[in-house]
Amino acid sequence: MAGNLNIVNASSVVAVTDGGRARAGRAQGELDIVHDAAVIIRDGAIRAVGSTVELLDQWGDDDVPTIDASGKTVMPGLIDCHSHPLFGGDRHDEYAERLGGASLAQVAAGGGGIWSSVVATRNAADDVLLDRLQIALLRMVRGGVTCAEVKSGYGLTVATELHQLELLQRARAASPIELVITFLGAHVVPRDLSDADPGEAYTNLVAGEMTERVVAQGIADFQDVTVEDGLFTPEQAARIIARSHALGLRTRVHADAWKPSLGWRTACAAGAVSAEHLTYTDDSEIDAVGASATIAVVLPVAELIYMTDRRANARRLIDTGVPLAISTDYCSSIHATSLLSTMTMAAPWFRITPAEAIVGATLNAAYSLGVQARRGSLDVGKRGDAIIVDCPHPNELFLGLADEMLSAVIVDGQLMPISPAT
Ligand SMILES: [Zn+2]
């Protein structure tokens, strides 16, 4: 799939120029906006970004499809770097129970929580799982996403995790957008183990046979490991991560979603590419770790739906020199597929600027997935991925419900269907 396209007369082109690393500190808040600008795409790749008048002189062939973006803003295609879209069952009842006053422990005692999705997913037919995944991907595209990370993690046995990764591989072949596949064997500790110390036994399984088989089959781009009090300890997670790195599989971490669990420190010390959630990461831990190459991925909708009494300290992370990314956390209990809305919500939620949020959903997210060579910014040579929003300046997107302002989603130079009927 490779299109030719001219996007011209845009009031703003938000380039988010790639300087060779994820952006942190003050650079997280810089967008590299070009006004009255054009983006030229040939054979699916960006060939030029700049003044409309100048570029049309060189590239204004009559037979190239052209979008007049007058009064609009062109941005890089959004990158969703954290999702769990392959699952069976439904969990809306437990959310309703929690909204009605039930505690997490009460919901879990009633059979809810991640474990209920594991059981439902293990029992679901492949075509049911894949149909649902396909619908989620189309909805992601309608929220401005042109590349997404997708995790396994609702299997938690060697056979079921491998099978879920194989289904994600099949979905990738049919996907309208690039998928980055993550093995999440260490999602939670399975409840059906009979070992005296289930957490330790399961850690040994993940760090041993599971990781070996996943790597041998070459079916994952990353391994994700949870560091959370009551699930995997920092020491257990570090062991899984070390094994993964020894076998050549890069890692990401679910950290501190429910309690301060030293997840951020563990992820950085182990050399994980990213750590996600960070809702309960202590300020003292952020300060002690300092600037990092590990990217902090914050998930505002997860905090909203989980009704946590804290939020990740995104402001402190950015100011400390940590690159920040933003994702939906689409999963069995969070059905947010629009990264455009999640990104705009992240700004007031975390008290970060529109520019910092945009960098978090584009360039930094691309770096967290290792796709920065081809996506995440409007740089010449990258794939022709962009979104067009119906406002002259990107800041305006943040004043309302952003999805209402999405005008076009372009992948590899081709317009994607974004009306709800498609
Ligand atoms: Zn997650």
Mean pLDDT by 10 residues, the chain (422 residues): 90 98 97 97 97 93 92 98 96 92 85 89 96 96 98 96 97 95 97 94 98 98 97 98 98 97 98 98 98 98 95 98 98 95 98 98 98 98 98 96 94 89 48
Scored b (16 or more CB within 10 A) or e, 203-221 reads: bbbbbeebbebbbeeebbb
Three-state DSSP string of 353-376: CHHHHHHHHCHHHHHHHCCCCCCC
Å from CA of 61 to ligand 1 middle: 46
Amino acid 280: pLDDT: 98
Å from CA of 226 to ligand 1 middle: 9
pLDDT tens readout for residues 104-130:
888 888 888 899 999 999 999 999 999
Amino acid 422: pLDDT: 46
Å from CA of 355 to ligand 1 middle: 24
Å from CA of 263 to ligand 1 middle: 14
Q: Are 227 and 255 in contact (CB under 8 A)?
A: yes
Å from CA of 400 to ligand 1 middle: 26
Å from CA of 254 to ligand 1 middle: 6
β-strand 386-389 against 73-76: which pairing, if any? antiparallel
Å from CA of 232 to ligand 1 middle: 15
Å from CA of 407 to ligand 1 middle: 29
Å from CA of 97 to ligand 1 middle: 21
Amino acid 420: pLDDT: 63
pLDDT tens readout for residues 383-420:
999 999 999 999 999 998 899 999 999 999 999 988 76
Q: Are 297 and 357 in contact (CB under 8 A)?
A: no
Å from CA of 64 to ligand 1 middle: 41
Å from CA of 297 to ligand 1 middle: 10
Å from CA of 44 to ligand 1 middle: 31
Å from CA of 59 to ligand 1 middle: 43
Amino acid 1: pLDDT: 53
Q: What is the pTM of this model?
A: 0.97
For the record, the structure tokens of 167 come out as 């289904």
Å from CA of 301 to ligand 1 middle: 11
Å from CA of 3 to ligand 1 middle: 34
Å from CA of 253 to ligand 1 middle: 9
Amino acid 104: pLDDT: 82
Å from CA of 242 to ligand 1 middle: 21
Å from CA of 43 to ligand 1 middle: 35
**Cα–Cα distance, 237 to 180 (Å, whole number):** 22
Which residues, at least 6 apart from 245, have a Cβ–Cβ distance to it below 8 Å?
A: 251, 270, 271
Å from CA of 158 to ligand 1 middle: 20
Å from CA of 83 to ligand 1 middle: 6
Å from CA of 84 to ligand 1 middle: 7
Please, what are the domains in the chain?
5-77+377-415 (2.30.40.10), 79-369 (3.20.20.140)
Å from CA of 38 to ligand 1 middle: 37
Å from CA of 82 to ligand 1 middle: 6
